[in-house]
Amino acid sequence: MKLFLDTADVAVIRDMVPTGMVDGVTTNPSLIAKSGRNIAEVIAEICALVEGPISAEAVATDFDTMVREGDRLAAIAPNVVVKLPLTWDGLRACRAFADKGVRTNVTLCFSAAQAMLAAKAGATFISPFVGRLEDHGADGVGLLEEIRTLYDIHGFETRVLAASLRNPGHVSAAALAGADVATLPADVFKALVKHPLTDKGLDAFLADWGKTGQSIL
């Protein structure tokens, strides 16, 4: 499973890239607004740091403007993926981009039926929102499993990009549900490596090693 960073903070991305674990980046209008910077400049910097797919979202709600915005975003760098909302205009734009070879990420997916429409529209990625579904008492991980099954049965090539992941448990569950990608904030990304028994074991090893008086170097 690929791991994407969900952020528009270039400093955070620059810090995480040396781990070799960052396979791509997703952004959205809220993250761009939080950065306080021009979207084209931010996306260009991110694309220069990360070779994998970089999702940049169109903010228009009508088809014609959505396509114009998507064309502008896609022109920033070859690894830009145009992010579109799961609306009729968004799906129509998705098909238009698919027909001309531009990759897309259809976002704000909350049902398997929506995911089916996105796949039929030629989406490269579908982004089901796990955490937001759970906020409303629904089974977010269950949705990932439904979409995985639906896509496998019908041979859809759209990749499942699990979004709105709030904790390491969500990430593990997304992987086990068959998601192709998980996108997560930096704090969740960093938390994946943590476990209290790992820390306890390392402390014990270091304490014992200290008693030997040796140095490996």
Catalytic residue IDs: 83
Say how many Å lie between the first and final Cα of the chain, rounded.
37
Cα separation, 144 vs 128, whole angstroms? 7
The span from the CA of 71 to the CA of 58, in Å, is 9
For residue 187, which phi and psi values (nearest 5 degrees)?
-65, -35
Amino acid making up residue 181: V
Residue 162 phi/psi, 5° resolution? Answer: -70, 125
Q: How far apart are CA 95 and CA 188, in angstroms?
A: 33
Q: Per the structure block, which two tokens stand in for 115?
A: 């995911």
Q: Judge contact between 161 and 105, C-beta under 8 A.
A: yes
CA distance 168 to 175: 11
Q: Comparing C-alpha atoms, which of 191, 147, 184, 148 is closest to residue 163?
A: 184
What is the rounded CA–CA span in Å between residue 61 and residue 29?
13
Q: How many whole angstroms separate alpha carbon 25 and alpha carbon 80?
A: 10
